[in-house]
């Protein structure tokens, strides 16, 4: 069975004390979770203490929000995937639309980051998704297919098996507008079919595909009813312990 995953993307939020308190409260509130993996994607500087924090619960893990496309060397301010691996990081968000829009993460940069992550045994949480104009002109399937082809489809079956995909329609991120379960399910099924056509049906059946974009406790349960929706990548609502715990519980209730 595919892994069910609730990932929180904290983005550039929280102080050190707030981040530790949020993680501690989440660990406290979600001791009994089984069969759902909770991933907290934190700013770089909190990663190491967070890893120590979550060691008590094997269902929790910590992710980075980015990594360098370079291996190592004179790249001031950058963090290599090998450095993340050296502190025990197992996941990294790559291809997020905010990186694509504001930080020049082109297809080739994202592809290189995916390769650096996998070389270091880190699972990419690969984000894809269309802009509103692309959906309105009925280009959304082509856009997402091209994002997959450009940055993932050079991978071997073994490598793609080590990836998580997150469908995040750009128009739904941080806007309060969520894709309907039908819109999300339709795209998730399309992504799975695209992977099946490129690799194999069994490969596509094993890959977890998360939905992201204004997931809240109010809409999580309905979204997780989609048969190809294996969890969520949650931004704003992951910063509130109560809301994020409710989203985790919504996933547990589907198992
Ligand atoms: P949001 O962000 O839940 O605040 O819309 C999701 C994301 O960007 O991963």
pTM attached to this predicted model: 0.98
Cβ(121) – ligand 1 distance below 6 Å: no
Ligand 1 centroid to residue 74 C-alpha, Å:
32
Ligand 1 pocket, residue 169 CB under 6 Å: no
Condensed to tens digits (0 to 9), the pLDDT of residues 91-109 reads 999 999 999 999 999 999 9
The token pair that represents 90 in the structure block:
């197992």
Instruction: Using the CB atoms, write b or e for 7-41: b if 16+ within 10 Å.
Output: bbbbbeebeeeebeebbeebbebbeebeebbbbbb
User: Is 232 close to ligand 1, i.e. is its CB under 6 Å away?
Assistant: no
Nearest Cα residue to atom 6 of ligand 1:
235
Which ligand 1 atom lies nearest to the CA of residue 214? 5
> Closest Cα partner for 211 from 242, 193, 189?
189
Q: Residues 193-240: pLDDT tens digits? A: 999 999 999 999 999 999 999 999 999 999 999 999 999 999 999 999
Ligand 1 touching residue 173 (CB < 6 A): yes
Active site residues: 96, 168
Q: Give me ligand 1 centre to Cα 168, in Å.
A: 8
What residues pair up with 70 in beta bridges, in sequence order?
none
pLDDT of residue 33: 87
Residues 6+ apart with CB under 8 A from 66: 79, 92, 93, 94, 96, 99, 113
The pLDDT-based confidence of 34 (bands split at 50, 70, 90) is confident
What is d(CA 130, CA 138) in angstroms, rounded to the nearest whole number? 10
Q: Is the CB of 8 under 6 A from ligand 1?
A: no
């Amino acid at each position: 069975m595919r892994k069910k995953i609730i990932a929180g993307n904290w983005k550039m939020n929280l102080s050190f004390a707030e981040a530790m308190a949020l993680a501690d409260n989440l660990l406290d509130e979600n001791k009994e979770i089984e069969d759902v993996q909770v991933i907290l994607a934190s700013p770089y500087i909190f990663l190491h203490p967070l890893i120590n924090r979550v060691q008590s619960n094997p269902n929790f893990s910590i992710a980075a929000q980015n990594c360098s496309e370079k291996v190592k060397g004179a790249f001031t301010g950058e963090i290599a995937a090998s450095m993340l691996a050296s502190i025990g990081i197992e996941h990294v968000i790559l291809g997020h639309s905010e990186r694509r829009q504001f930080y020049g993460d082109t297809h080739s940069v994202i592809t290189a980051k995916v390769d650096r992550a996998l070389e270091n045994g880190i699972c990419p949480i690969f984000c894809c998704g269309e802009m509103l104009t692309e959906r309105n002109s009925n280009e959304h399937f082509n856009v997402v297919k091209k994002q997959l082809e450009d940055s993932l489809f050079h991978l071997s079956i073994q490598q793609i098996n080590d990836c998580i995909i997150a469908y995040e329609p750009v128009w739904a991120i941080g806007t309060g507008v969520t894709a309907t379960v039908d819109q999300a399910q339709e795209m998730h099924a399309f992504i799975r079919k695209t992977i099946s056509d490129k690799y194999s049906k069994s490969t596509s059946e094993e890959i977890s595909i998360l939905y992201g974009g204004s997931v809240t406790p109010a809409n999580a349960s309905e979204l997780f009813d989609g048969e190809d929706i294996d969890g969520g990548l949650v931004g704003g609502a992951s910063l509130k312990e109560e809301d994020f715990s409710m989203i985790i519980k919504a996933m547990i209730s589907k198992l």
